[in-house]
Structures are given as structure tokens and as C-alpha cells.
A and B are shown apart, each in its own frame.
Chain A
Amino acid sequence: MKTATSGLSLREPHSVEDAYRMMREERLTPIAGATDLFVGLNFGTLDARAFVDLSRLDSLRAIAVKDDVLHIGALASYTAIMQSGEVRERVPMLVAAAGQVGGVQIQNRGTLGGNIANGSPAGDSLPVLAVADALVVMCSVDGERRVPFTAFHTGYRTSVLRHDEIIVCVEIPRIEGRQWFRKVGTRAAQAISKLVMAGVRGDTTRVAIGSVAPTVLRLPRTETLLSVGGNIDEAVAELQQEIAPIDDIRSTADYRRQVAANLLRRFWSDTA
């Protein structure tokens, strides 16, 4: 469906400082890869009319390791993430997740910052960031602030991001333990997940799951059971207490409960 452009405006900052200033002065919706936002706009389901294009802010595209912490710029595309030697070495589960986002065309445009800002509980990269103990770095004219990824989303598509702030970067510390990722959808490419899970099995085991609650969830009680050597059956029972799936257009609550249990078992056997 063709976009009705009348009434739409687009600001095009050429530096991050310009962008921060514009976002302080006006109420603007950021666009990066546009791979999700334009779907809503084309179908008339997006209320926003005033936009700011962040895609020219090349300083937000870098992927680098500083002081043993991996910094992934908010504008890094899924393709750039898959091609980065640093990401491949340190966070292979993020490479796996990036390869499951849409098809190549979406991977070429979609950004990690966009996946976070969009805030869908089905976002493919989000369980990975949750188990990676990632920090989200946000910036405005007031300066920078960092929040743990697990504290970023406050509810269904809501977050601590202020309307004058931009997500600039994600910081991922070195991860000890074996990493695991699995997405379940109707087909391998181009499907929004019915369920998506990431795990790290090490001295302290971490598990996060998407599409089973209003936000992506870490499963602290399940993790504790697995970390202290509890058996997988107990962990699966605990997982069922920690998730709150619903019926929606992509799946049912019953199916999600069953698959969540299956995925936890698969994570545990694959990383044994």
C-alpha cells in the first residue's frame, strides 16, 4: 500500500548533536532502517507524523572492543553484526539471531538499536541481549546514561527511553560459558517468532525468552535451579511459573508453553 505522505515531515540531522537538539525541541519519531516503522506507516497503523532520520549518523554504526567490552553501535545492521569478527568471536548467539531476522534485504537495513527501540517482545535479538547482560547506552543533550538491557523495557512496547533520547550503543561484557539461540516461527526466514530463546550455560546459567510475556523475560528462578545443579524437569516446571504467554495471531498460549519447555530441554542437552 502506498504511503500517504501528506502531513508527514522528516528531519535529517547530519550530526548526533543536531539530532539531540532536534529531539529536545520537537516531538520526533526516530527512523533508522525503517524495516518495521515503514510497515506500520504504509498500512496506516502508525500515528506518528513527524520523523527524524538517524541513518546518516555514521558514528552510531561502529562495532568495536574497548577495555574488553564489545560496543555495538545502534545503527549496526544485522548484516554488519554477522560480518563482524568481534561479534562472531564474542557473541555467536547474536550472530545466530541476526541471521534469523527477516531475509537478507531486512538484515541489510534493520538495526540492533531499532530492534530494541521497537520493543516488540518477539524481537529476535532481545533474548540474546538479556542473557548477555548487555547495557543500553542512551544519549540526549543532557548527556549519556546507561541501563541494563533487562531494565530497559517496562511493558508491552514501553521503555525507559525518554522522547528526547536516542539509543546510541549496546555494550556487551565478555561472556563466560556456552551460548545458545533458537527461534521458532512458521518458516526459517521472514517469520516473526512464535517463540525465541537464548541461553548461556556457565558457572551461572542464564536463560531469556521472547513472545511469552509483554516483554522479553529473563527467568531468574529457572536459572538458579539450573545453576545449582537442579534437574531439567524441575527447571521446566519452574519455567512454566515464570512465563505468561497469551493467544495471539501467531500462536496460542498452550503451544508456547509446550515449546518453551521443549526449548529449555534442547538448550540443556545441546550445551551439556
Chain B
Amino acid sequence: MQFTLNGVPATVDAHPMRRLLDVLREECGLTGTKEGCGEGECGACTVLVDGQAVVSCLVPVAQVAGADVRTIEGLGTDHALQHHFMNEAGAQCGICTPGMIMTASTLPKDATLEEIRVALAGNLCRCTGYEAIYRAIQRANEERA
């Protein structure tokens, strides 16, 4: 099956019911996407499908045939969210971070703190207490503005 992965056409040979998460990590070698709970509660495995944040542990890979899939690797190595998550200490153990950043990347640059909180309600962090994460997203958005 074929889809677009981080802007590049990808062809994978995978069972249609495999989790998108497993195909990304094991077939495509993109291990930036993490597995947390495996039941759609924690958001660690968040990727974008056609621009929308989804939990890749609950997506049968057949459902992304022809779609535009974007993972944390697709943001490159010089992204404002990446810098500000570091600067604000928005990451500690780092497992939630790729998912946090992918969800944050869907926010408009003028998102209010309340909008950021609502958008990130499906991304759990057990280390930071979220304040540093919200701050990092606000700083990154200021830079985009």
C-alpha cells in the first residue's frame, strides 16, 4: 500500500490491520513516534493524517492508504517547537514529547492558553506538570507570529 510519509511517497508491504504505529516504527524505521498506553488515552503516538492529529495506535494502516502522514521526523531538525521544548524544559523523560509536539503543530499561531490546554488534553505527561510544555508552545507560536 502507498501513502505520503513526511512529504515523500512511501510504499509498504503490511497487513491492512496492523497499527499505523507499528508500521511507522518497524517498516518505515521512524522510531520517533512512541507507544505509551496502546489504547488511545495518552497521545504519545500522535501523528498527523491529512493534517489532523490522530493516535497511531488506533489506526489500522489500511485507513491511511493515499493519505498524507506526518511524524515527528517530518518536522526536521530545526523547528521552533523543538527549540522551545528544550529551552523551557518542556521535556523530561521525553516519551510524550513527540506526541505533544505533533498535536501542538496543528494549533494556529494565535492560539490562546485555553485553546492550547484543550488541544493537548489528549496528550499526557507524567513528568513536567504541563506548565513548561504550554510555555514552550506559546514561545514557539510567538516566534511564528
Interface residues of A (CB under 8 A from B): 1-3, 5, 8-10, 12, 31, 34-35, 38-39, 41-43, 51, 53, 55, 79, 102-106, 108-109, 188-190
Contacts and interface: CB of A to CB of B under 8 A. Distances in A.
- Chain B interface, >50% SS class: mixed
26 contacts: A1-B38, A3-B17, A3-B19, A8-B15, A38-B58, A43-B38, A51-B17, A53-B16, A53-B60, A102-B122, A103-B43, A103-B123, A104-B53, A104-B121, A104-B122, A105-B40, A105-B55, A106-B40, A106-B58, A108-B52, A108-B53, A109-B55, A109-B58, A109-B59, A189-B122, A190-B124
B118 to A, nearest CB: 8
Contacts of B17: 3, 5, 8-10, 41, 51
Contacts, number: 93
A34 B20 CA distance: 12
Interface size for chain B: under 10, 10 to 19, 20 to 34, or 35 or more residues?
A: 20 to 34
Contact of A105 (B19, B43, B118): B43
A109 B38 contact: no
B41 interface: yes
Contact of A38 (B41, B46, B52, B60): B60
B11 interface: no
Given A42-B39, A43-B39, A105-B103, A188 B121 contact: yes
A5 B16 CA distance: 9
5 closest Cβ pairs, A-B complex? A103-B122, A189-B121, A5-B15, A10-B16, A38-B58
B119 A104 contact: yes
